[in-house]
Amino acid sequence: MRAVNYCKSALLIVSIVALMLTTGTNVYAGGTLRIASMGEPASLDPHKVSGTWAVHIVGDLFLGLTTDDPYSKAVPGAAKSWTISSDGKTYTFNLRKSLWSDGTPVTAGDFVFSFRRILNPETAAEYASVLYIIEGAEQINTGKASPETLKVKAIDDHTLEIKLKGPAPYFIDLLNHQTCYPVPRHVVEKYGNAWSKPEHIVSNGPYKVVLWIPNDHIRLVKNEKFYDAVSVSLDELKFYTQEDRAAVQKRFRAGEIDVATDFASEQINWLRKHLPEETRIAPYMGVYYYAINSAKKPFTDQRIRKALSMAVNREAIVEKVLKTGELAAYSFVPPSISNYPKSAQVQWKDWPYGKKIKEAKKLLKEAGYTKKNPLKFTLRYNTSENHKRIAVAIASMWKAIGVKVELFNSEVKVHYAELKQANFQVARAGWIADYNDAQNFLYLMETRTGPFNYSGYSNPEFDNLMQKAEVTLNPKKRYELMYKAEELAMRDMPVIPIYHYVSKNLVSTRIKGFEDNPEDKHRWRYVSFK
């Protein structure tokens, strides 16, 4: 009997292999994907995360009304379809029947609860201002109205209505951002702020949390309650939170990690020679910049901010320090953003570098800083070989105009906490598009933006232009308003744009379904092993 069963099993295996060879199928279901996410998340609560290192994890735990396809395009998520009113201000969503990972139904009421929660000032959600396009959102978030006044309404358990204060061409893209993810009302109300701990958290996405070892890794497993679980290939995800790029690269080379979401640029020549297929570099909608605390002296003086910006040799940084295809940035909004034909660049962009240095020295002298009385301050950056090399290079450039800089490093979680508290003088920052629209970059400098306006920039004219653009439907007029706003910001220089990003990933050749895309978003539900 055993021999017969063995032969049948052997024949079955041979048949399957033959079928795979015939059809060209070369993937298998299951397995554990190991990802270096390059940072320890502050939380797994989608309403309380902001950095890409945290969003990499949260993005596969929760599912918004829309979600990302492998190319970062918005596609139906928790909503299977929607309609938009003729004036572009009312959206009606038809929700698919789905469950939380504990088996509780996901309803339109969960979305109403979630939108009210993130906008409630008591939640202290740093990203709440991104939702101000929803009618009533700003008044609630600033404490001027109760959460119940928000124009997000459950028509029934599977129909949701959202009203905007003006047409927003980016709204469908915005809905797949973590600020719009639903949270389980029944769990939040039971456990309060502790709801997102591994022992309590439930999710509606393709994966669920089973383990979090701080400063080591977070383990997710396939959510069998997910509405499309049958299409999710991987059984398990392990996110390693280590920030040391060089150490991560060694682990990748040793086969201990399958995907690294960044790498040290100084290794690019070696990587291109030895790991050309694994080294993935692609255009990326983001800006690397230095925030200047313009609310504190001496940086209240626009001449000082302009001098520091003029002295940064951006071409030297992208060509000699990074060497991975980044673009020198003389505007805050990256190129190729939808409905934004051209960014507003600084007027001195094309000056010879020697002329920039001469003008920078002149501006500092006018502001009262000379060789006998040099400008001194601390430049902060978060842990990364690339950030350190850039900081050292720029400190040297500033030395050429008589500025003395002390460098200060801290881990990413601490670094951004200090920026949000305005506890810095000049600090490294980066912004990656949440949705493909210039507004997502420029809103960072609006007075009302709050903690993400690191520099404390406040210009009523800038604010007015941005708020007019927010409710303008005509794409050309909307672009013109935002362009004027960016011109003002590049004149006032509360931030120093340094370069526009490219995404840099190391991806094992065993992986199928990883697609380079302009937002560098990767939902692991689409990935499998060869």
Query: Is residue 120 a part of any domain in this protein?
Result: yes
Instruction: Measure the CA–CA gap between 166 and 208, rounded to whole angstroms.
Output: 36
DSSP-derived secondary structure for 217-286: EEEEEE-TTSTTGGG---SEEEEE----HHHHHHHHHTTS-SEES---GGGHHHHHHH-TTTEEEEEEEE
Query: What is the total count of domains within the chain?
Result: 2
CA separation for the pair 25, 28 (Å, rounded):
9
| 428 occurs within a structural domain | yes
Residues 239-267 pLDDT 10s: 999 989 999 999 999 999 999 999 988 89
DSSP state of 481: H
The answer to whether residue 375 is domain-embedded is yes
- Residues 380-385: what's their mean pLDDT? 93
* Helix (H), strand (E), coil (C) string for 127-162: CHHHHCCECCHHHHHCCCCCHHHCCEEEEECCEEEE
The verdict on 514 and 404 lying in the same domain is no
What is the average per-residue pLDDT within 177-206?
97
Give yes or no: residues 227 and 369 share one domain.
no
Give a yes or no: residue 267 inside a domain.
Answer: no
- Give the Cα separation of 491 and 485 in Å (integer): 10
Whole-number Å distance between alpha carbons of 103 and 383: 40
Give the full edge-to-edge strand order of the sheet including 90-95. Answer: 79-84, 90-95, 159-163, 152-156
Whether residue 364 is found in the same domain as residue 495: yes
Averaged pLDDT, 340-361: 96
Residues 45-97 pLDDT 10s: 999 998 889 998 999 999 999 999 999 999 999 999 999 999 999 999 999 99
What is the SS3 assignment for 398? helix
Residue 519 sits in a domain whose CATH number is 3.90.76.10
For 387-410, what is the mean pLDDT?
97
Distances (CA, A) of 149 to 75, 84, 144, 260: 29, 21, 10, 44
As a whole number of angstroms, the distance between CA 437 and CA 466 comes to 13
Residue 64 makes CB contacts below 8 A (sequence gap 6+) with: 77, 78, 175, 176, 177, 178, 180, 181, 182
Six token digits for residue 504: 């840099």
Domain hosting 345: range is 283-503
The 10s digit of each residue's pLDDT in 10-37 is 333 334 344 344 344 456 678 999 999 9
> Are residues 73 and 105 both part of a single domain?
yes
- Domain match, 219 and 289 both: no
* pLDDT given at position 27: 61
Q: Are both 86 and 227 inside the same structural domain?
A: yes
pLDDT average, residue stretch 396-404: 97
- Residues 430 and 294 both lie in one domain: yes
Closest CA to 523 of 88, 205, 291: 205
Contact 299, 427 (CB under 8 A): no
Tell me whether residue 245 is in a domain.
no
Q: Are residues 479 and 336 located together in one domain of the fold?
A: yes
Nearest to 432 by CA among 488, 484, 504, 381: 504
pLDDT in tens, 483-528: 999 999 999 999 999 999 999 999 999 999 999 998 999 999 999 9
pLDDT at 449: 86
Inside any domain, residue 255? no
Please tell me whether the overall predicted TM-score, pTM, comes out greater than 0.85 for this model: no
Residue 4: what pLDDT?
35
Q: Are residues 380 and 345 in the same domain?
A: yes
- More confident position, 90 or 8: 90
Beta bridge partners of residue 161, listed in sequence order: 92, 153
Contact 428, 290 (CB under 8 A): yes
Report percent pLDDT > 90 for the chain: 84
Q: Is residue 237 part of a domain?
A: no
Instruction: Residue 317: give its domain's CATH number.
Output: 3.10.105.10
- For residue 422 the two structure tokens come to 């305005």
The count of other CB atoms within 10 Å of the CB of residue 150 is 23
Residues 305 and 386 in one domain: yes
Question: Do the strands 404-410 and 376-382 form a parallel or antiparallel pair, or are they unpaired?
Answer: parallel
CA 344 from centre of chain: 23
Same domain, 217 and 347: no
pLDDT at residue 28 in the model: 62
**What are the tens digits of pLDDT across the range 116-132?**
999 999 999 988 999 99
Rg (Cα) of the chain, in Å, rounded?
Answer: 25
Separation CA 55–CA 37 (nearest Å): 9
Q: Check whether residue 139 and residue 152 sit in a common domain.
A: yes
Mean pLDDT estimate for the chain: 92
Task: Report the C-alpha gap between 330 and 309 in whole angstroms.
Answer: 9
| Residue 374: inside a domain | yes
pLDDT of residue 199: 96
Neighbours of 213 (CB within 10 A): 10
Say what percent of the chain tops pLDDT 70.
95
At residue 365, the pLDDT reads: 97
Pairing relationship of beta strands 236-240 and 66-68 according to DSSP bridges = unpaired
